[in-house]
Chains A and B, each alone.
Chain A
């Protein structure tokens, strides 16, 4: 470059540099300006003004700093800057609903907000400093705030044992277990799958037409709107069998395969012809059968549909399948064989083995086959020709492909392992990891789960997941339980903070074990944390009940609570069995510190008894909850027969502290003195009423009438 041109170029260069410098400075200035105008700073300044307008300014601004506030918990990957804007989080004086957000105090919860941070429960982005980025899904930040309605999901990420405080989560986990989701999916904290019935011999039980109807529409009881209420609650899942999207020819092939399943012939039993002949002459065979059916309290486990004023309701327990139309389903030989020995057909099931007389067996089976029926049930089923070999082969393939084999076992069919995707980490998935297909829903995890549960093909047309029917509360409960499946914990520091699920176990021993298995006591009763929750916990029954009373109760079970309509079935136990159970309960299941012999009933003087009566009726007014002789409240058990039923030692211990004996009882613990406890026990021990034998017509009619009242 010639030297004379240097000046010219230098000038242009200078100009360029000058412009560039100005632009550079401007660009550099953007950052501080943006920083100054940051949303969080606005809230910082706004909080100062708000605090100055209140009388407790000094206290509110004690920890104030104009910078970003942060809760940092390295062990749990928590970097939460939420308190930068939510500045009143731990100020009790800002708890009122009139305090504007984001300054309101956090409502009281069992955890300290400062110790745990915010995102552990609420999710969202802790480190973000803008409203949208902290709370919502953006491209860079994928974890949105969990809506308050599903917050219990976060409790479940650490608390693997069930909590009283989280009913929605507990219900969700219960549904995941009840609907057998574990059969196809891997899940944490959900009980092992309760498989659907084994179908190896289903050809003996039901007709091919019935299987067709069942595969097409597994719910048999529906009102005109397609709904039923169970015990007063709207319920869409009374059938655990979901609906599969099957084409007609697929159903035909499956019915061909299933109706050919005849692995083990049923044990045939011939009811004494003399009994049959005698009953067939009487006109009231079916009413007598119904009476017996009700007396045996089959409805404690099996619901039946009742239609009143155009409204269809299911009434009864939910342990066994609904039986409203079972007479149109099963064949009679199978029913008789099943009633006599349910474990002969299905090795694993909770139906007790009743002791039947031929007469009862005939009456009840005739009632079931003739009254619990629906002549229209199979009218929509097309005519099915005899199954061809091809159809059966096809059916077997479909049985595996459609996932039937995951819930129902059939001899000689090996189910595919891990049929559905692993869901143990579903709750921490980002939206980008999910397929939304053509579904017009918000692209986040919550909408995805709800859409998938309601209509699996809406998000994935190739989905093999069947169609469930949910009521809104159950849909949200299952969503909560699925959102709580957040996979392995991020660091070892959190591992020791998580609350593990405690596995309960109980083993019956000796002769009792056999009776326990035969009558399936654990289907309703609980022993040391193991068993059902329908009936009283029997872990300490030996300390509570007198042996003589247990013996009489087993022969002739009565309802002790005035409003209860579910009662223990009458098993027709033999004397030997009754003795084995009474002996075992009285001696083997005692609470160590309540020795039934420790209080001697002979020391109860008449003076003590009359003082106890006064305390019962006047000072403590126990009659507000307990009934004696027909008057009193419906809340607690009736005490008509307390003197024969309860041991004095248990009664005293109970009056001292009911929760020490049964933690979940609702009877409040009172401030009773030892003298008062003794006097009340003395009075209660005088209450003796003979148990009426329960085979009269009126009792069964009363229980029938009582069923209208709900559970």
Chain B
């Protein structure tokens, strides 16, 4: 009798050990959508959405406050100011014009204005109105919505994956 109990004890241990190994319960998957912080419809194809991270989303907010009036064809107030200007300012998503410009150039022209870099004086300087971080955010947004898509210059990314 006693020996049976003795034999049962280790079995109980095993059972306890195994049950501890088991996962708590079935894991409920979170909602698949909502994965991105913010999004912007592709300007050339409104059925497509461009996903935006935090910095790009801040860029979008600043763009729609300060830049949209001249660098887009539709504005929150209706008509765009773009047609009033010569030379006509590029659309913000115009990859053919803007992808070739470096981040430094973009940062400088937004900070110092067009006339400082030999471009149109109609582009005013925003260096005293926006912080450097805010200007970087606008550039990040430009890169995110560019058509054709923007390719970061330099070494291609590693092919290594974590798993």
Contacts and interface: CB of A to CB of B under 8 A. Distances in A.
Interface in A315-335: none
Interface string B21-36: 1011101111101111
Contacts of A669: 128-129
How many interface residues does chain A have, given as a range? Answer: 35 or more
A634 interface: yes
Interface residues of B, number: 60
Nearest to B124: A668
A53 B158 contact: yes
B6 A16 contact: yes
Nearest to A102: B162
Contacts of B55: 107-108
Given A624-B122, A709-B78, A96 B152 contact: yes
Contacts of B77: 563-564, 634, 710-711
Interface in B7-45: 7, 9-11, 13-14, 17, 21, 23-25, 27-31, 33-38
Contact of B9 (A20, A47, A107, A147): A20
Interface string B105-122: 000000000010000111
B122 A621 contact: yes
B128 A149 contact: no
Given A23-B14, A101-B162, A670-B124, A16 B27 contact: no
A101 B35 CA distance: 15
B162 A100 contact: yes
A149 B78 contact: no
A102 B29 CA distance: 19
A397 interface: no
Interface in A149-179: 149-151, 164-165, 167-168
Contacts of A635: 69-70, 81
A694 interface: no
A298 interface: no
A444 B30 CA distance: 8
Nearest to B85: A624
Contacts of A657: 128
A135 interface: yes
Nearest to A625: B81
A26 B10 CA distance: 10
Contact of B162 (A43, A136, A151, A619): A43
B81 A144 contact: no
A50 to B, nearest CB: 6
Interface of B: 3, 6-7, 9-11, 13-14, 17, 21, 23-25, 27-31, 33-38, 53-55, 58, 61, 65-66, 69-70, 76-81, 84-85, 115, 120-122, 124-126, 128-129, 133, 136, 152, 156-158, 160-163
Interface of A: 12-13, 16-17, 19-20, 23-24, 26-27, 30, 34, 43, 46-47, 49-50, 53-54, 96-103, 107-109, 132-133, 135-141, 144-145, 147-151, 164-165, 167-168, 442-444, 446-447, 476, 563-564, 618-621, 624-625, 632-635, 657, 659, 666, 668-671, 709-711
Given A13-B6, A43-B162, A138-B24, 10 more contacts: A19-B10, A27-B10, A98-B156, A167-B61, A618-B121, A634-B69, A634-B80, A668-B126, A670-B125, A711-B76
